[in-house]
Amino acid sequence: MQEQEQSARFELEVVPHLDAAYNLARWLTRNDHDAEDVVQEAFLRALRFFGGFRGGDARAWLLKIVRNTCYTWLDKNRAKDTPAVFDEEVHSEETSSDDPEKLVLRGSDERMVRQALEELPEQFREALVLRELEGLSYKEIAEVAGISIGTVMSRLSRARLRLEKALAGNVGKER
């Protein structure tokens, strides 16, 4: 009976966030098929851990599981495909905002924006997807990503500067 109830509660509280789960997984894996596998795996995990979920923000709770499942999956696949991981965080030049130039975005070229966001390093992509697409608060993002609110703030800041730089670069190239 208890299992029955728990399953009903899971369906009411967790399943409605399936789109959010898929959106995050799709942006992190950058592939439809992988995102489906990750989300299915994450839901199985969520169902298993649901007994330990003591109410609160079910969406953040689920997204945290989805995120962790994504990274486990990405690590496994990277190990197979690309043994030498290029750590973009360490190697790429830091984006500075000294003397910022005005960002010119023509209309909203969806393909360009999508591509630029896809090319951001994971942790920046993740922060922007959670904030701008899912509308999570800093506190929720901190919970999902397992980082402090201060780190959320600085990650979003760097993510935005990088994305702006990438988009400004693309605009320049196309002209």
Partner 1 sequence: MSCADRQARIDAHLDGELEVLASMEMEAHLKACPACAQVYANHQALREALSGAALSYRAPVALRRRIRAALPSRGESEAARPWMLGRWLGLAAAMAVAIILAVVLIPARRGPSIDDLLAQEVVSSHIRSLMGAHLTDVPSSDQHTVKPWFDGKLDFAPPVRDLAGQGYPLVGGRLDYLNGRPVAALIYQRRQHFINLFIWPAQAGVSDALARAAPRQGYNLLHWAQGGMVFWAVSDVNPDDLGEFSSWVKSTPR
Residues lying near partner 1 in the complex (CB under 8 A) are found at 1, 3-4, 7-8, 10-13, 15-19, 21-23, 26-27, 32, 35-36, 39-40, 43-44, 47, 58-59, 97-103, 105, 107-110, 113-114, 117, 128, 131-138, 153-154, 156-157, 160-161, 163-164, 167
User: For partner 1, which is the closer residue by CB, 54 or 80?
Assistant: 54
Q: What is the closest distance, in whole angstroms, from the C-beta atom of residue 100 to partner 1 in the complex?
A: 5
Q: Which two tokens stand for residue 107?
A: 């209309």
Q: Are the beta carbons of 163 and 121 closer than 8 angstroms?
A: no
User: For partner 1, which is the closer residue by CB, 74 or 161?
Assistant: 161
Q: How far apart are CA 3 and CA 47, in angstroms?
A: 11
User: For partner 1, which is the closer residue by CB, 45 or 88?
Assistant: 45
Q: What is the closest distance, in whole angstroms, from the C-beta atom of residue 84 to partner 1 in the complex?
A: 30
Q: What is the closest distance, in whole angstroms, from the C-beta atom of residue 85 to partner 1 in the complex?
A: 25
Q: How far apart are CA 64 and CA 46, in angstroms?
A: 10
User: For partner 1, which is the closer residue by CB, 122 or 160?
Assistant: 160
Q: How far apart are CA 112 and CA 146, in angstroms?
A: 30
User: For partner 1, which is the closer residue by CB, 79 or 133?
Assistant: 133
39-42, long-range: CB < 8 A, 24+ apart: 39/66, 41/69, 41/73, 42/66, 42/69, 42/70
Contact residues for 85 (Cβ-Cβ < 8 A; gap 6+): 78
Q: What is the closest distance, in whole angstroms, from the C-beta atom of residue 126 to partner 1 in the complex?
A: 14
